């Protein structure tokens, strides 16, 4: 049973029962410090890529031994969605190893994760292996330079669940940008997605003399330009999904120019690097869902998934449930327009059901701009969420800068989010005030920066 004795000092106005993951984890580490025994988690993903994480846990027969179970379960859940993996190694208590095997079997509490990381993402069976520490593969993290190539005439696109953006960029200068509303998640036809993406590319291409390269940003898990899993294509039936997996490869062959597509979160981080000129950046895009990307202190992407939309940030047993993964308290429901809609109901704001999601967000944001107290409380609540959420992320990433982007940051909302983060940092985590710089780019970069950064992905010969 998850319990939080260390109550948050900053209470979200619309969520008094919020239980920040960072406080629970820090309380656990503090309590176990004097008596803990080491356990090791290993996560194996792509060829020869492994992460090793050491934990201190209560020893067998300790009066607080049962506290290990929820702590380890939430840590493993976070690590899987942060780093990815098809094989989970555990060295430590046999009881905890058996517990992990049970909940991550095909019919356990984490059956969704079992099938997701096994068959869907890595196309192999997901396994939990109890072993000695010596049998866990050595840590091997890969990374590569990404983007930043601005020479030539380029097109960049950004595919979101509510809108798609495209830009034409000539030698680093955007000469055309367009944003259009679309509804991809409910459309089962792969050709619909192909036509929409090609329409955006051709529109941008008509604004420049020629196209040297194309870069794309897309929601989902992208491996070698193939979207293995993406909420963007949720409506496409399984028997047609192979067409979606190869959609970007098809476009590249037809247009005959270099084309690279990566996860939208990584493009967010890339946009941050390009705008700030420094590394160690965590980019968080608050759009239709939460998109996160990370550029490490060496200026490399990590090869991790960074799908923090489905990583837990709230340990409240009654936290909202994500409709896709079936888990509680995950980032998508705290750092996105989904959160805005959820909190609007709590705040008593009636939003017309006839509106599309992008229009619903604009409807609520219009109230925010008039200083409607109920709308203000939505963004104050989200700002508090972000403060605790970023502190939680800082336990798993080496962060110098946090860049906040996305539709939810438009207008007055962006400053309210920053105020909320700074209030939490000042009250709970003063050490983060000097360690992490927060960035809220200007309106143009917030709304179109993703597609411009995406344009820089391919390296021209």
Last-in-domain residue among 261, 279, 314: 261
How far apart CA 87 and CA 299 sit, in angstroms, is 28
185 and 241 share one domain: yes
Residues 164 and 234 occupy one common structural domain: yes
Within 10 angstroms of residue 212's Cβ, the number of other Cβ atoms is 17
User: Mean of the pLDDT values across residues 41-70?
Assistant: 94
| Domain span holding position 406 | 267-452
CATH at 248? 3.30.420.40
Q: What is the pLDDT of residues 195-221, one digit of tens each?
A: 999 999 999 999 999 999 999 988 889
CB 460 within 8 A of CB 152: yes
Mean predicted confidence (pLDDT) in 154-171: 92
pTM listed for this prediction = 0.86
Query: Do residue 82 and residue 211 come from a single domain?
Result: no
Q: Give the residue carrying structure tokens 């095997």.
A: 101
Taking all residues of the chain, what is their mean pLDDT, rounded to a whole number? Answer: 92
pLDDT at 381: 98
pLDDT (tens digit, 9 = 90+) per residue, 223-257? 888 899 887 898 999 899 989 999 999 999 999 99
Among 195, 230, 261, the domain boundary falls at 261
- Report yes or no on 59 lying in a domain: yes
273 close to 299: Cβ distance less than 8 angstroms: yes
C-beta separation of 385 from 334 below 8 A: yes
In a domain, 18, yes or no: no
**Does 1 reside within a domain?**
no
Same domain? For 330 and 414 the reply is yes
Kindly state whether residue 25 falls inside one of the protein's structural domains.
Answer: no
Question: Does residue 21 form part of some domain?
Answer: no
Q: Is pLDDT larger for residue 406 or for residue 189? A: 189
Residues 90 and 229 placed together within one structural domain of the fold = no
Query: Does 328 fall in a domain?
Result: yes
What is residue 453's predicted lDDT score, i.e. its pLDDT? 87
Residue 394 lies in a domain: yes
Q: What pLDDT is recorded for position 314?
A: 97
Residue after which a domain boundary falls, among 109, 135, 161: 135
407 and 440 inside one domain: yes
Kindly state whether residues 446 and 371 are assigned to the same domain. Answer: yes
Handedness of CA 24, 29, 31, 36 (dihedral sign): positive
Task: Give me the number of domains the chain comprises.
Answer: 3
pLDDT of residue 444: 47
pLDDT at 2 over 80: no
Q: Does residue 358 sit within a domain?
A: yes
């Amino acid at each position: 049973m998850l319990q939080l004795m260390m109550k948050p000092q900053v209470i979200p106005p619309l969520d008094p029962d919020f239980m920040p993951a960072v406080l629970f984890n820090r309380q656990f580490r503090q309590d176990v410090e004097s008596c803990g025994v080491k356990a090791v988690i290993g996560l194996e993903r792509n060829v020869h890529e492994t992460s090793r994480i050491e934990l201190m846990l209560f020893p067998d027969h300790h009066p607080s031994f049962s506290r290990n179970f929820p702590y380890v379960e939430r840590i493993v859940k976070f690590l899987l969605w942060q780093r990815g993996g098809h094989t989970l190694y555990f060295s430590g208590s046999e009881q905890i190893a058996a517990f992990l095997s049970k909940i991550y079997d095909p019919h356990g509490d984490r059956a969704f994760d079992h099938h997701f990381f096994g068959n869907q993402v890595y196309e192999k069976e997901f396994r939990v292996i109890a072993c000695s520490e010596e049998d866990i593969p050595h840590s091997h993290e890969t990374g590569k330079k990404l983007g930043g190539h601005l020479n030539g005439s380029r097109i960049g696109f950004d595919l979101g669940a509510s809108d798609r953006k495209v830009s034409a960029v000539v030698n680093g200068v955007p000469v055309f940008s367009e944003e259009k509303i679309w509804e991809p998640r409910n459309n089962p036809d792969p050709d619909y997605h192909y036509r929409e993406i090609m329409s955006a590319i051709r529109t941008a291409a008509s604004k420049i003399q020629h196209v040297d390269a194309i870069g794309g940003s897309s929601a989902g898990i992208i491996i070698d330009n193939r979207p293995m899993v993406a909420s963007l294509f949720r409506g496409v039936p399984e028997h047609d999904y192979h067409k979606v997996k190869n959609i970007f490869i098809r476009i590249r062959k037809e247009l005959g120019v270099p084309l690279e597509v990566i996860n939208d979160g990584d493009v967010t981080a890339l946009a941050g690097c390009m705008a700030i000129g420094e590394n160690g950046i965590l980019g968080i895009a608050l759009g239709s869902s939460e998109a996160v990307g990370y550029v490490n202190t060496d200026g490399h992407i990590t090869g991790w998934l960074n799908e923090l939309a489905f990583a837990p940030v709230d340990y409240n047993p009654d936290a909202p449930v994500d409709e896709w993964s079936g888990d509680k308290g995950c980032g998508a429901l705290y750092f996105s327009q989904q959160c805005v809609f959820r909190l609007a109901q709590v705040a008593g704001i009636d939003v017309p059901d006839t509106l599309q999601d992008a229009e619903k967000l604009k409807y609520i944001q219009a109230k925010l701009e008039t200083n409607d107290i109920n709308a203000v409380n939505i963004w104050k609540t989200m700002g508090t969420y972000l403060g605790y959420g970023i502190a939680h992320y800082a336990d798993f990433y080496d962060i110098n800068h946090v860049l906040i982007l996305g539709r939810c940051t438009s207008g007055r909302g962006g400053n309210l989010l920053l105020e909320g983060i700074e209030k939490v940092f000042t009250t709970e985590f003063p050490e983060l005030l000097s360690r992490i710089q927060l960035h809220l780019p200007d309106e143009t970069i917030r709304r179109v920066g993703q597609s411009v950064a995406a344009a820089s992905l391919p390296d021209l010969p």
